[in-house]
Amino acid sequence: MKFFFPDSQDQVDPGFDFVTEERDPFRVRQRDDLYAHEALTQAPFDGLLVSKAIVDGRAGGGTGKYTGAQRHRLYREGADTFFRLDRGHIPLEIMGDCGAFSYVGEEHPPYTVDEVIDFYDGCGFHYGIAVDHVIFQYEPQTSRDDERAAEWLRRQQITLSLAEEFWQRCRARRVGFTPLGVAQGWSPQSYADAVASLQRIGYQRIAVGGMVPLKTPEILACLAAIDRVRKPSTQLHLLGISRCEDVPTFAAHGVTSFDSTAPFRQAFKDDRDNYYTPERTYVALRVPQVDGNAKLKARIRAGEISQSHAIELERTALARLRQYDAGEIDVEPVVQALADYSAVWDGKADRSSQYRTTLVDRPWQQCSCDLCKAIGIEIVIFRGTERNKRRGFHNLYVFEQRLRAQRERNTRDQDPK
Q: How far is CA 345 from CA 21, 288, 350, in A?
A: 20, 8, 12
Question: 3-state DSSP call for residue 83?
Answer: coil
Report the b/e string of 212-233 with b at 16+ CB within 10 A.
beeeeeebbbbbebbeebbeee
| 259 catalytic per annotation | yes
Q: Which of 56, 132, 193, 259 is catalytic?
A: 259
Question: 3-state DSSP call for residue 256?
Answer: strand
Question: 3-state DSSP call for residue 336?
Answer: helix
Indicate the helix (H) or strand (E) that contains 326.
none
Q: Is 84 left (phi over 0), alpha (psi -120 to 50) or beta?
A: left
Identify which of 188, 187, 170 has the alpha carbon closest to the alpha carbon of residue 179.
170
**Angle at the Cα of 178 from the Cα atoms of 174 and 180, rounded to 5 degrees:** 120
| 97 catalytic per annotation | yes
Q: Which of 7, 97, 132, 325 is catalytic?
A: 97
Cα 152 from Cα 226, distance rounded (Å)? 18
Q: Catalytic positions, please?
A: 97, 259
